[in-house]
Structure 1
Amino acid sequence: MKTIKITLCAAVLGLMSFTVLPAKSVAKIIETAASAVTWKSESIDLGEIPQNKPKAIEFEFKNTGKTAVVISEVKASCGCTATDYTKTPVKPGETAKVTATYNAANKGAFTKTVTVTTNAETAPKVLSFKGTVI
């Protein structure tokens, strides 16, 4: 029985590929994993804002990558927030913005989010803003 286990283990190890990635491949993987979008702020505290007066919140980012960044979708967490964003490709080194306009209908504290999807990041970026309606 021991001989069968040892033979089976040797066969499995013999079939495995023990290769090492070249340094260029590793560097490319690291470069791809690094984000090409650097946000000025991912969370903004608005403090106190007046009721029934829409408030525009701007989230600015810079393309720190080597290729153009395209925003494909911007989605607000609720119907009380309208969004707008730069529709043209953002070239390396350039800045762009995502604007969320919050219509503060109810008094009290609030926290809202805006989800931004780009071609530069594998997961969407969730931006937030908060404050108190007076």
Structure 2
Amino acid sequence: MKKVFFTLFIGAGLVACKNDDKKTTTQVINQDSLAKQKIIDGMNGNNPAPVADPSTYTTIQWLDSTYLDLGKQKEGKEIEISFRFKNTGTKNLVIETVTAQCGCTIPEKPEQPFAPGEEGVIKAKFNGSGHDETRKQVYVKANISPDGADTLTFRAQLVK
């Protein structure tokens, strides 16, 4: 009987305790996790959200293609890729981020804004690692509508 009363007493004490500190800690952890997830999503090109106010949206035209077939390339040789574009909108085009699918591809982000009608290039270097056919993606986040992001893809047949 003493054990039952002791258990009830402990249970009542736990219920009576305040949880204010626990809620605050949970909220901080959740906000921190959300911020980290947004960074990861941006790096992976997932969930691309508009990067600017809709009043600053412009449009982009990829002059060659968003898919480049580089054909046969020597395995282990560094390959340079260029994706040409033109700002076809009425506002300045601002490239916010340019990220790659993996560490074997290093993209270069243009730093300057592009005026309406102005052309530019997004370059990337692929280290040529691997063998056989490879497909890699480069993710571009900018003040373009409707979703703020474009995916550029290149393919190469790596030979010895």
TM-score (norm 1): 0.72
Separation (CA, whole Å) in 2 of partners of 1:35 and 1:126: 17
Aligned to 2:105: 81
Aligned to 1:56: 80
Per-residue deviation, 1:107:
1.6
Matched, 1:126 2:151: yes
Per-residue deviation, 1:86:
1.6
Per-residue deviation, 1:119:
1.1
Looking at secondary structure, tell me which structure has more helix per residue: 2
Looking at secondary structure, tell me which structure has more strand per residue: 1
- 8 Å CA contact 1:39–1:61 kept in 2: the answer is yes
For residues 91-106 of structure 1, the aligned pairs below 5 Å read 91-106=115-130
Q: 1:71 aligns with which of 76, 79, 95?
A: 95
Q: 1:37 aligns with which of 60, 65, 79?
A: 60
Percent of aligned pairs with the same amino acid: 32
Aligned to 2:49: none
Separation (CA, whole Å) in 1 of partners of 2:78 and 2:58: 32
- 8 Å CA contact 2:62–2:86 kept in 1: the answer is yes
Per-residue deviation, 1:125:
0.2
Unaligned stretches of 5+ in structure 2? 1-54
- Partner of 1:59, secondary structure, is strand
Unaligned stretches of 5+ in structure 1? 1-31
Separation (CA, whole Å) in 2 of partners of 1:131 and 1:79: 16
Per-residue deviation, 1:120:
2.0
Q: Which amino acid aligns with 2:77?
A: K
Q: Which has the larger radius of gyration?
A: 2
Q: Which amino acid aligns with 2:89?
A: G
* CA-atom RMSD in angstroms: 1.5
- Partner of 1:115, secondary structure, is strand
TM-score (norm 2): 0.61
- 8 Å CA contact 1:85–1:97 kept in 2: the answer is no
